[in-house]
Structure 1
């Protein structure tokens, strides 16, 4: 006969481990370990210990003998694939890995289960760094538009709302630092990059040529065109260019970068996933990285806010409908 105080000691030993009848594998392992210690140290009968903690003796003995359940075996298989995904793209955390598993490997699991597997293998996404923009506000703006977008970051169809901005990337020649500038236009409906340009100088022609490219490739587009108050966007020639294309200009308020939030968000994505933590020693490899990433972003990078599809898939789905 086992004394009640021994049962109390066993329950106290596992307090906080069990919450409800549905247990994760990690918590189950702790329960089995507690039974093993109590049976050895206290002489507690295995049958009684299993009954108190509400686990089956067969499961305990299977754990004791090193046998793995079908779920454990499946988790190991999933973890191996997750590590491969993470090694190819260290920027991916458990949510994006789960989405890749479902889309490209036909493995459907919950976010919570994916998180447990990633924690067990110590799979973590790369750190998100703060983005320091390079846009210079104009001291003498020729044209200022109202903030017509007003943080309404939803669009009902492609080419309804476009955002734009410029950011910088550094490359090194010995100890000498050089820069290239990326100007891009983002569509709020499908988050695709409509057009972009990479140049050595952050000037009017960089922005003007980006817009010309977007217009040439989307001649029927007449979106609301939103930017910050950078000197290129407040230029009267730039405003005339938008008017001629049938676009309505909108600008962020002073010192309110969140007014152009999704565009700033894209800068954070590309830099976190392909730029931060690396040092480019020549301009060509840096520009190639930018081009390859934008191609990957538009056609391969799944986004949950789009329904776990890529920007181009979202765009093509609208056209097909």
Structure 2
């Protein structure tokens, strides 16, 4: 190891101190944004937050040197669960997308949904279920 490297590491220069300060600002922004900011957007955010205008190459160099790069989210691969569709146990398609009726109460459809409500200082889930008559679109129950 050269002697100059030892003394350079022992007494950091003024530019190294400035780079460390810039890297701290970058680290604060990265932590606030969950490490999703790249060098292009980082320049805009640094200018807004600190009033510091840096070039993209300098920001990229600092982010690489201090390991502050954005973490790339991995896309999840979809896997085919089975090769053939199993229709065994499914209800038959009686309506066949024909949502009208010639007589009352011959075709009824139902729907259920969850409704949040606040009671006794905490949230609860309620269930709302409707039965609709397709003859005149009235709610039966």
TM-score by length of 1: 0.21
Q: Point out the structure with max Rg over C-alpha.
A: 2
- Structure with the largest fraction of helix: 1
Q: 1 or 2, which has the higher strand percentage?
A: 2
Scaled by the length of structure 2, what TM-score is found?
A: 0.45
